[in-house]
Amino acid sequence: MTRPISEIAAGLEPSRGGVPLRPGLRLHIIGVGGTAALAAALHAKALGLQVSGYDQALAGETAAILRNAGIPVGSSASPELLQVCAALNADSVVAISKAITSTQPNHPEVLLAREAGAHAVSVQQVIADAAATRGGLLIGVAGTHGKTTSTGWVLDALMRSGIDLSAFVGGPLGEELGTPTGAPVRIGSSPGFVVEADEYGGNFDVYNADRALILNVDWDHPDIFADRQAAVATFAQWVSYPAKSGVVFINAGDQGGAELAALLATVGGGNCYTFSTSASAGAEVVDLAAEVTPRGEGSFAITIKHLSDRAATAAPALRELLQHPLPIGLLGAHNASNALGVAALAASAGGSADGIARSLATFGGVGRRMEVRYDRGAITVLDDYGHHPTAIDATMETVRQRYPGRTLVLAIEPLTYHRTAALLEGLAQSCSSADRVVVAEIFAVRDLDTTSVSAADLAERIAAIGTPATAPGTVLETAAALLPSITPGTVVLVMGGGRSTELAAALARGLTAAS
């Protein structure tokens, strides 16, 4: 059963376009350890706001980033938090993740904020306001899959073109991009802002993007989208702004993307441009078409074969890239497709042909996207955020290409009970393409019911298809159960959007200790 956004965002002020933040404004962030919440805190602090936070359990890396930024954080165990909240008043702003409001509208911190009369907004609203404060173009990257990597990629392409923008990316950024290293933000020196625009619960409604990229539209978030058509309608509403007053590139080689482009064509989306690396979408029906060439071990190159005059006007640097083979540094055919969209979006925002080409060839990705956590003695451990069947399929295919002939063990932590229950058959089919699977306990986020399905249910479905599968327990119990059976010649792919990164880290520690 789907839920309306009003229920998920209970108690929050309606979404609006970004407005500049006032220096010195008092901002308190509930659930500050979340990726978007952390980004909101860091951007607000950099812009001169008084920022504090609350979180019940911060990861060590996140706690260090907040501490080094001078942002105090309380928890339910820290009495000084009450003193922080007492400083709130009607001029203050409290930012809250919808992961909290969707399940705990009467969270104690939320009640304290209401009692103080503070404005309650989503953490995405703070990010949108930070972008408005910076000024310049707002550049948004959206899509069901691949948006975190692609957002970081656009940022990198623009930096290599001499344009140093600020950004929010939904994953840890490396030392050349992150402010600081490992943070999901960049504090740039130029006007303009690159943002990962998440479709869940209206999160991207606050981003009135001047330039936008839609990588794909798939059925995900079954608690708010009844089917893919519902997701397409939501994306169409978001891109209506750049479609009329800016530029939006849409992947027409993706079924959902093609449906989105067709829908926008019926309502006068004159600034929409389509692209594809798919043979099914010919050059005569898209504005930008590229040929994909395998280079071995999961790597690819793209060659832009067709560029419409209108797209060339919107993204001038693409003219110089036409008909030139462009090696792609990130592995996987899905990244080759995303690279074409990244090139188009960066070019529409002033990126140079040289800067874009160098970024396509050398960008190292974002943390937790096929990140190598251990690679020694013919044993490899990879850490990846993917948790949807489509993402699992693409990642496992890429791993098979990169490590041919190796035994592939999938260690997966399903993300949310409602998603796992709705996509159970698809998840089982996707996971079953591994040689062996271990399923950790489901990570609950925005879940009202945690009894609908279990990790053991998914393991049983996978085993029924013919792939050995077990459900050992928590992520750490899963790591402990898996470690003794990892032998040379094995690639362990750890996937999940919750605490699965702790599983990957535990495997890396255990293998290091045993080597």
Per-residue pLDDT tens over the stretch 179-232: 999 999 999 999 999 999 999 999 999 999 999 999 999 999 999 999 999 999
Please tell me whether residues 199 and 312 are part of one structural domain: yes
SS3 labels along 352-398: CHHHHHHHHHHCCCCCCCCEEEEEECCEEEEEECCCCHHHHHHHHHH
pLDDT for res 12? 92
Q: What is the pLDDT of residues 358-411, one digit of tens each?
A: 999 999 999 888 999 999 999 999 999 999 999 999 999 999 999 999 999 999
Report the alpha-carbon distance of residue 157 to residue 151 in Å, rounded: 10
Note whether 252 and 376 are same-domain residues. no
Contacts of 484 (CB under 8 A, 6+ apart): none
Q: Which residue carries 């489901």 as its tokens?
A: 442
Beta strand 166-168 pairing with 193-196: parallel
pLDDT in tens, 408-443: 999 999 999 999 999 999 999 999 999 999 999 999
Give 326's Cβ-side CA count (13 Å radius): 33
- Whether the CB-CB separation of 204 and 221 falls below 8 Å is answered with no
Tally of domains in the chain: 3
* pLDDT for the residue numbered 48: 97
Q: Which pair of tokens denotes residue 209?
A: 């993007």
> Of 362, 389, 410, which marks where a domain is finished?
362
The residue that leads in pLDDT, 85 or 1, is: 1
Count other Cβ atoms within 10 Å, centred on residue 87: 12
| CATH number of residue 199's parent domain | 3.40.1190.10
Residues 288, 320: one domain?
A: yes
| The domain boundary residue, chosen from 362, 382, 405 | 362
Report the pLDDT value the prediction gives residue 85, as an integer from 0 to 100.
Answer: 61
H runs (alpha helix) in 146-250 = 147-159, 228-245
Whether 44 and 186 map to the same domain: the answer is: no
Structural domain for 419, as ranges: 371-514
Domain match, 101 and 154 both: no
Global model pTM greater than 0.85: yes
What pLDDT score was predicted for residue 283? Answer: 46
Together in a domain, 326 and 277: yes
Distance CA 133, CA 88 (A): 23
Closest residue by Cα to residue 497 from 65, 35, 32, 181: 35
Same domain membership, residue 71 and residue 47: yes
Residues 303 and 412 in one domain: no
Lowest mean pLDDT among 39-43, 111-115, 246-250: 111-115
Instruction: Indicate the residue among 362, 390, 416 that finishes a domain.
Output: 362
Q: CA–CA distance from 246 to each of 44, 322, 349 (Å)?
A: 27, 23, 10
